[in-house]
């Protein structure tokens, strides 16, 4: 296929945590809030004069300092973020607003705070209590926490406009980006998709790490470009897969999977579009903050949500997208030492195989896979097994 | 070898096998007392096995085999003790053993694979291992049982290798070996088909960590398969904050309603407040023992404080009068010894706070610490829980009290709640208890503790506190054995402190095969 015009631009944005769009927005007087998880609703931190970025540590090398502070038993994402923070890589941040989410990420941010890694004057940290069940009691808590620790804090520290009107504008902007990403992503449903999983991953990830409004023109152009893009007549892939699991902000992982003969047609992971780029529906009958929180609470697919509806719902969600995106199999990935996904990838794999009939590969991986030969071999073997099943006309 | 504290070289008792060479000689009076207590435990075990459903349970469940080590478990925690200290230990451990026997008796009677008493089963609510039982104080006609406690927690206390098989089972399913072994073992029990099946419903809670939370998912699926409805209490993590308390209280209200709907029993306020009166008095007793540890003559310390407190605070929660009576006797004995300035070991060299999560396969490490090196384990993280008095008559406040207790369950109150409760509080306790040393359990799979590793070291240096890291893997002695645990201390004491042990026979022990 012909290269996408802006793909290189999006790739460049992902080369540094402190990318050019962040600098541009800050030069315009906007404040930047660091986030680390889906559970602090992005839209509440993407206000008129405030924007949020989800932290990554691109091109991570040695993790020695963070390993001293947190040992080698914590996941490499949390260690890479702390390492980068100690190195001064997030000094552009004006605040950190994070959930008391998984233990490791929580400890990572606490270390960042205690070690005074962010050097801007007036920088502050907020930790949200986020509900671990989706129900009305949890929603009340979520609304209260978001009201005080996000909106209240942004108003207090930055004088941000957090009125309902401002929130509505924020939702409109957020939904616009989500619509664009969804429409781009929908091309992955085609029998011979005109976009690869890698390309989509890069584009989608860019929307997490830069002020979204500054990306809209490039996203629109990319969507227009895709409308007439001709896919290769003979596609290279031999199996369509859903990748589901823990945090992936590594530009190489999806590439490695696709270089091994698969096509990633759906992305159910942190930094992915499902459900990270699903539009927020609004009505006029309910307080807007409650509606936003309800969306993020009920759409949440984090394995730390503990009620049985969620436990089963997460697997059903993956089965649904596998069907919708015509996947032949599912790859569950777990970042090494991630406790929630250590369990979830096992029960998920079991259910996807036994209940929904999909072939499943489970992998654990480091933060940055590079060109791991071991992983490549595993994916190649999985693709072959899926391919053989298809040739033999057996079950999925 | 005799009546005096420290008169026996305790390392000489180890045989290299499951049991020790002989019983410790503590002088005539104490030896006879100890032996009489041992006989009572043996009698209790025999009585337990007289029930056919218990005998069936003994052969049905792999983890039950560990229970033949009950007398050995008590022996290893009473090692070196004399006089009142020996009596205090027996008051504690013997009562806990009796309580666990009752738990197992009820469980096997109701279990569909053993006694299959369905009427009894309908009166049982299943709880998590690491969960406050306070919520059952309002249901006097229901029984509450945690099979996880019996199958995993107590089993490893009795026999260090008790759950390695279940860990292997889970790892064969694909769960990596770096997750916390406790919930992993519990999940392994379920997958291996070794979960006793009973109960009208189950109440789970997001207890200590992500591993525990995720293990609960496997348990919940098993309950669902067996037709046991399950409710999850999602207690807030940032438990110090006022803003989360209403949410927490509503979780408790919802849980109570769930139990009422699934058992047909109504919440009984009178019984609840009766239990809370006991609970408050138990707290007072425990605090009074810990206050003694601020002085030069601590009386109830180490494992004797930790294990008994865990049971009383969390699993008993004021429901059983026997525990309150034992508390009163312990307080009386401790007070006597305090006034007589009695000592636990011949020499007190260091006063230590025990922080982090203890090794479940080596809980008698704390007696070893005091007997070998004269390091007094004054108080431990797991005993430093919620000491505020709970309401004994206000129904509205009571719900908030239960919610607070759920948030501040043992271990959870430190692994959750932010760095303030894990990191900052430690130095406050060092000052309060006049400690010069911290023994910091580094449970390698405990990410909450691991995540503060570097800052613990930095803060210890700033406060001038000697910090000894003691590595372990909670329930898997294959990863880090008991001698390796001891060596962490031995190395530090010799190389940094330049000290010789009080009892050199204990420095290196042949106990890898011991119960």
Structure tokens belonging to residue B83: 């006089």
Average pLDDT, chain A: 96
Is the pLDDT assigned to residue A74 strictly greater than 70?
Answer: yes
Mutant choice from A339, A348, A352 vs B, greatest count of B C-beta within 10 A? A339
Q: For position A395, what pLDDT does the model report?
A: 53
Residue-wise pLDDT for B219-250, tens only, equals 999 999 999 999 999 999 999 999 999 999 99
Look up residue B400 and give its DSSP letter: H
| pLDDT-derived band at B26, boundaries 50, 70, 90 | very high
Is the pLDDT assigned to residue A396 strictly greater than 60?
Answer: no
Q: For position B409, what pLDDT does the model report?
A: 94
As a whole number, mean pLDDT of residues B400-418 equals 96
**Cα B247 → chain centroid:** 28
Closest CB to B217 among A102, A133, A311: A311
Residue-wise pLDDT for A139-193, tens only, equals 999 999 999 999 999 999 999 999 999 999 999 999 999 999 999 999 999 999 9
Q: Tell me whether residues A70 and B415 touch, CB distance under 8 A.
A: no
Structure tokens belonging to residue B514: 């011991």
Q: Tell me whether residues A339 and B217 touch, CB distance under 8 A.
A: no
Quote the CA–CA distance of B291 and A99 in Å, as a whole number.
37
Q: Write the secondary structure of B36-89 as one string of H (helix), E (strand) and C (coil).
A: HHHHHHHHHHHHHHHCHHHHHHHHHCHHHHHHHHHHHHHHHHCCCCCHHHHHHH
CB atoms within 10 A of CB A179: 14
Quote the CA–CA distance of A42 and A208 in Å, as a whole number.
9
Q: For position A313, what pLDDT does the model report?
A: 97
As a whole number, mean pLDDT of residues A63-82 equals 97
Closest CB to B214 among A74, A303, A307: A303
Average pLDDT, chain B: 96
| Closest residue of chain A to B234, computed from CA coordinates | A132
Q: So where are chain A's domains?
A: 19-162
CA atoms within 13 A on the CB side of B40: 14
Q: Tell me whether residues A343 and B454 touch, CB distance under 8 A.
A: no
Is the pLDDT assigned to residue B1 strictly greater than 70?
Answer: no
Let me know if A88 is exposed, middle or buried by CB neighbors in 10 A (0-12, 13-18, 19+).
Answer: exposed
Residue-wise pLDDT for B37-89, tens only, equals 999 999 999 999 999 999 999 999 999 999 999 999 999 999 999 999 999 99
Is the pLDDT assigned to residue A393 strictly greater than 80?
Answer: no
Residue written as token pair 């300035």: B341
Q: Tell me whether residues B447 and A311 touch, CB distance under 8 A.
A: no
As a whole number, mean pLDDT of residues B466-475 equals 97
Closest CB to B224 among A115, A308, A346: A308
% of residues, chain A, pLDDT over 90: 95
Residues in chain A with CB shorter than 8 Å from the CB of B232 are 132-133, 306-308
Q: Which CATH architecture has domain A19-162?
A: 3-Layer(aba) Sandwich (3.40)
**Cα A43 → chain centroid:** 14
Q: Tell me whether residues B214 and A344 touch, CB distance under 8 A.
A: yes
Is the pLDDT assigned to residue A80 strictly greater than 90?
Answer: yes
Residue-wise pLDDT for B77-112, tens only, equals 999 999 999 999 999 999 999 999 999 999 999 999
% of residues, chain B, pLDDT over 90: 97
Q: Chain A to chain B, count of Cβ pairs less than 8 Å apart?
A: 155
* Angstroms from A204 CA to nearest CA on chain B: 28
Q: For position A391, what pLDDT does the model report?
A: 84
| Range of weakest confidence among A217-221, A235-239, B29-33 | A235-239
As a whole number, mean pLDDT of residues B382-399 equals 96
Closest CB to A127 among B418, B442, B451: B418
| pLDDT-derived band at A394, boundaries 50, 70, 90 | low
Residues in chain B with CB shorter than 8 Å from the CB of A307 are 232, 234
Q: For position B3, what pLDDT does the model report?
A: 87
| Closest residue of chain A to B218, computed from CA coordinates | A347
């Amino acid at each position: 296929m012909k290269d996408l015009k802006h793909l290189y631009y999006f790739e460049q944005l992902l080369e540094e945590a402190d990318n050019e769009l962040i600098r541009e927005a800050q030069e315009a007087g906007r404040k930047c809030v660091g986030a680390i998880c889906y559970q602090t609703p992005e839209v509440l931190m993407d206000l008129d004069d405030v924007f949020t970025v989800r932290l990554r540590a691109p091109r991570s090398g040695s993790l020695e300092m963070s390993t001293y502070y947190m040992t080698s038993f914590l996941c490499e994402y949390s260690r890479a973020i702390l390492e980068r923070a100690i190195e001064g890589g997030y000094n552009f941040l004006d605040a950190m607003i994070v959930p008391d989410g998984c233990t490791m990420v929580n400890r990572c941010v606490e270390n960042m705070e205690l070690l005074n890694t962010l050097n801007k004057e007036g920088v502050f940290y907020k930790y949200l209590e986020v509900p671990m069940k989706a129900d009305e009691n949890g929603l009340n808590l979520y609304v209260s926490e978001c009201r005080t620790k996000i909106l209240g804090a942004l108003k207090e520290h930055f004088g941000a406009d957090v009125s309902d009107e401002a929130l509505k504008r924020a939702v409109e902007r957020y939904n616009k980006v989500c619509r664009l990403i969804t429409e781009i992503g929908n091309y992955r449903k085609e029998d011979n998709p005109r976009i690869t999983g890698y390309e989509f991953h890069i584009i989608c990830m860019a929307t997490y790490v830069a002020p979204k409004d500054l990306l809209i023109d490039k996203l629109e152009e990319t969507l227009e470009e895709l409308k007439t893009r001709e896919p290769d007549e003979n596609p290279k892939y031999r199996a369509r897969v859903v990748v589901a699991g823990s945090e992936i902000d590594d530009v190489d992982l999806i590439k490695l999977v696709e270089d091994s003969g698969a096509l990633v047609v759906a992305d159910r992971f942190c930094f992915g579009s499902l459900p990270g780029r699903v539009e927020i529906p609004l009505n006029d009958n309910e307080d807007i903050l409650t509606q936003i929180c309800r969306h993020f609470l009920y759409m949440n697919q984090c394995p730390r949500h503990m009620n049985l509806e969620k436990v089963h719902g997460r697997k059903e969600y993956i089965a649904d997208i596998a069907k919708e995106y015509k996947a032949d199999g599912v790859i569950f990935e777990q970042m090494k030492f991630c406790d929630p996904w250590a369990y979830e990838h096992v029960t998920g794999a079991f259910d996807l195989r036994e209940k929904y009939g999909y072939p499943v590969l489970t992998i654990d991986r480091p933060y940055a896979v590079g060109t791991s030969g071991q992983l490549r071999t595993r994916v190649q073997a999985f693709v072959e097994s899926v391919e053989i099943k298809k040739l033999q006309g057996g079950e999925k | 070898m005799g009546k005096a504290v420290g008169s026996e070289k305790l390392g000489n008792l180890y045989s290299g096998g499951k049991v020790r060479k002989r019983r410790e000689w503590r002088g005539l009076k104490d030896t006879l007392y100890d032996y009489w207590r041992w006989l009572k435990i043996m009698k209790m075990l025999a009585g337990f096995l007289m029930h056919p459903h218990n005998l069936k349970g003994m052969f049905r469940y792999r983890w039950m085999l560990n229970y033949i080590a009950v007398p050995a478990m008590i022996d290893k925690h009473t090692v070196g003790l004399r006089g009142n200290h020996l009596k205090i230990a027996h008051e504690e451990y013997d009562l806990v053993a009796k309580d666990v026997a009752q738990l197992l008796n009820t469980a096997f009677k109701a279990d569909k694979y053993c006694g299959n008493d369905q009427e009894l089963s309908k009166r049982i609510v299943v709880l998590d291992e690491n969960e406050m039982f306070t919520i059952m104080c309002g249901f006097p006609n229901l029984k509450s049982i945690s099979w996880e406690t019996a199958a995993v927690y107590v089993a490893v206390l009795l026999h260090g290798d008790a759950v390695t098989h279940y860990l292997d089972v889970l790892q064969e399913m694909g769960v990596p070996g770096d997750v916390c072994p406790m919930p992993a073992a519990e999940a392994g029990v379920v997958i291996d088909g070794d979960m006793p099946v009973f109960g009208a419903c189950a109440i789970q809670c997001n207890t200590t960590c992500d591993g525990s939370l995720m293990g609960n998912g496997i348990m919940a699926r098993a309950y669902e398969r067996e037709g046991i409805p399950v409710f999850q209490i999602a207690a807030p993590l940032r438990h110090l904050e006022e803003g989360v308390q209403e949410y927490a209280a509503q979780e408790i209200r919802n849980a109570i309603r769930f139990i009422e709907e699934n058992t047909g029993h109504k919440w009984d306020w009178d019984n609840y407040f009766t239990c809370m009166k006991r609970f408050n008095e138990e707290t007072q007793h425990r605090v009074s023992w810990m206050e003694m540890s601020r002085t030069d003559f601590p009386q109830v310390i180490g494992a004797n404080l930790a294990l008994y407190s865990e049971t009383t605070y969390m699993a008993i929660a004021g429901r059983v009068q026997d525990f309150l009576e034992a508390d009163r006797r312990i307080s009386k004995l401790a007070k006597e010894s305090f006034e007589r300035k009695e000592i636990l070991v011949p020499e007190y060299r260091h006063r230590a706070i025990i922080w982090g999560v203890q090794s479940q396969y080596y809980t008698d490490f704390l007696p070893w610490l005091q007997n070998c090196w004269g390091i007094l384990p004054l108080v431990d993280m797991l005993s430093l829980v919620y000491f505020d008095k709970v309401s004994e008559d206000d129904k509205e406040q009571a719900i908030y009290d239960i919610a607070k207790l759920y948030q501040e369950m043992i271990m959870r109150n430190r692994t959750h709640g932010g760095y303030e409760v894990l990191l900052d509080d430690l130095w406050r306790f060092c000052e309060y208890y006049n400690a010069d040393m911290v023994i910091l359990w580094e449970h390698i799979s405990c990410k909450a503790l691991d995540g503060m590793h570097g800052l613990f070291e930095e803060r210890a240096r700033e406060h001038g506190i000697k910090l000894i890291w003691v590595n372990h893997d909670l329930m898997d002695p294959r990863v880090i054995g008991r001698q390796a645990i001891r060596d962490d201390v031995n190395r530090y004491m010799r190389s940094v402190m330049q000290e010789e042990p009080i009892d050199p026979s204990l420095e290196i022990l042949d106990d890898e095969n011991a119960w």
